């Protein structure tokens, strides 16, 4: 995690008042025109307007194994479509061919020019360094009475309480899939409670043992029996969609079944210090065994078969 903070470019070739000069990297600001040539390190995030066989090595930032060929295209198509992307969120960092990124990028080939659009902690690598340095408070959570007044104090306290409660329930932290699954679980829970109240209301809130058992059975019945299997199949279908778009990542399937991964090797992978060339039959057996043995759907199906017999 310290690698993005340690990367730096000592100087940059810029154009000032129509004259070319070399300035320290810290003096580069938005609006400067930066000249790039083979062997240079990009001092800031640049929007390229001139590129002559320009290639950028983005291993440390985007984990691209090969240098990325840059261009000056004004519009970039969103992945999987022929329509131009409306926002940067629709295009991954590795697909933004008209942008050269700060610090992590070196020029192995070609030359070009670009205008500075972001410097310091606003660059892509700066955002990564900021996210690994310390936990930032979400906007609108301040409770400073002197600075923002009583209204913001109440609002900030309410939002902090919501964040803490959401973290406890798993609704505000985790991956997008985990958040959606947590929301689905609580939705089913509330539906089950409503169904139990309906059962009690039909009996005019008289709850003998038979009514309680019926209400519990109704609550259990609302939970899908094959929810885990459906989720696994859904993700399996999405992988084939990626395959159709030539974006299939086999190792994503393998690493998705691994509970512990040595993060110390992640910089080695990102810097392209070794390459995957082939896989032997014995490693194939190990990988297949790992995926099958750790698949929740496989275990779930086995348990259901045992119950039937």
The verdict on 9 and 91 lying in the same domain is yes
The verdict on 122 and 20 lying in the same domain is yes
Q: Could you report the per-residue pLDDT of 293-305, keeping only the tens digit for each?
A: 555 544 555 555 5
212 falls within a domain: yes
Alpha carbon 185 to its chain's center: 23
Structural domains of the chain, count? 3
Q: What is the CATH number of the domain that holds 122?
A: 2.70.150.10
Q: Is the pLDDT of residue 72 over 70?
A: yes
154 falls within a domain: no
Parent domain of 282: 228-308
83 falls within a domain: yes
Q: Is the pLDDT of residue 217 over 60?
A: yes
The band of 277, judged by pLDDT with boundaries at 50, 70 and 90, is low
pLDDT at res. 93: 78
The verdict on 193 and 121 lying in the same domain is no
Q: Tell me the two tokens of residue 57.
A: 């090595």
Residue (of 309, 294, 204) closest to 255 by Cα position: 294
How high does pLDDT run on average in the chain?
A: 73
The verdict on 89 and 178 lying in the same domain is no
Which of the given ranges, 49-53, 72-76, 121-125, 128-132, has the highest pLDDT on average?
49-53
Contacts of the segment 184-193: beta carbons below 8 A, 24+ positions apart: 188/222, 188/223, 191/222, 192/218, 192/219, 192/222, 192/223, 193/219
pLDDT at res. 9: 47
Q: Could you report the per-residue pLDDT of 81-112, keeping only the tens digit for each?
A: 777 776 666 777 777 888 888 866 678 889 99
Any bridge partners for residue 106, and if so which?
41, 57
Q: Could you report the per-residue pLDDT of 149-203, keeping only the tens digit for each?
A: 778 888 888 888 888 888 877 777 776 777 787 888 888 888 888 888 887 788 7
The band of 264, judged by pLDDT with boundaries at 50, 70 and 90, is very low
233: how many CB neighbours lie within 10 A of its CB?
Answer: 12
The verdict on 13 and 47 lying in the same domain is yes
The band of 278, judged by pLDDT with boundaries at 50, 70 and 90, is low
The verdict on 218 and 249 lying in the same domain is no
The verdict on 19 and 70 lying in the same domain is yes
80 or 169: whose pLDDT is higher?
A: 169
The verdict on 215 and 266 lying in the same domain is no
Q: Is the pLDDT of residue 266 over 50?
A: no
The model's pTM is 0.45
The verdict on 17 and 89 lying in the same domain is yes
Query: CA distances (Å), 263 to each of 1, 60, 256, 266, in order?
Result: 10, 15, 14, 5
Q: Is the pLDDT of residue 113 over 90?
A: yes
Residue 274 backbone phi and psi in degrees, to 5: -145, 160
Residue 75 backbone phi and psi in degrees, to 5: -125, 140
């Amino acid at each position: 995690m310290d690698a993005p903070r340690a990367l730096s470019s000592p100087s940059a070739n810029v154009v000032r008042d129509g004259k070319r000069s070399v300035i320290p990297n810290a003096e580069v600001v938005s609006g400067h025109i930066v000249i790039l040539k083979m062997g240079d390190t990009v001092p800031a995030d640049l929007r390229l307007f001139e590129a002559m066989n320009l290639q950028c090595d983005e291993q440390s930032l985007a984990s691209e194994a090969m240098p990325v060929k840059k261009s000056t295209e004004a519009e970039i198509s969103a992945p999987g479509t022929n329509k131009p992307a409306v926002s940067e969120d629709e295009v991954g960092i590795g697909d933004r061919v008209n942008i050269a990124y700060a610090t992590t990028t070196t020029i192995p080939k070609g030359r070009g020019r670009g205008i500075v659009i972001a410097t310091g902690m606003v660059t892509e690598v700066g955002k990564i360094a900021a996210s690994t340095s310390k936990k930032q408070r979400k906007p609108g959570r301040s409770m400073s009475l002197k600075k923002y007044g009583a209204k913001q104090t109440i609002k900030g306290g309410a939002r902090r309480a919501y964040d803490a409660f959401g973290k406890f329930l798993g609704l505000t932290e985790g991956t997008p899939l985990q958040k959606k699954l947590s929301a689905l679980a609580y939705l089913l829970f509330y539906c089950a409670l409503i169904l139990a109240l309906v059962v009690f209301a039909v009996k005019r809130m008289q709850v003998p043992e038979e009514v309680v058992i019926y209400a519990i059975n109704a609550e259990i019945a609302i939970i899908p029996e094959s929810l885990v299997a459906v989720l696994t199949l859904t993700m399996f279908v999405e992988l084939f969609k990626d395959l159709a778009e030539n974006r299939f990542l086999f190792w994503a399937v393998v690493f998705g079944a691994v509970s512990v991964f040595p993060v110390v090797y992640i910089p080695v992978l990102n810097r392209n210090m070794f390459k995957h060339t082939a896989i032997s039959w014995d490693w194939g057996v190990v990988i297949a065994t790992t995926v099958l043995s750790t698949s929740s759907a496989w275990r779930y199906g086995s348990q259901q078969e045992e119950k039937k017999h």
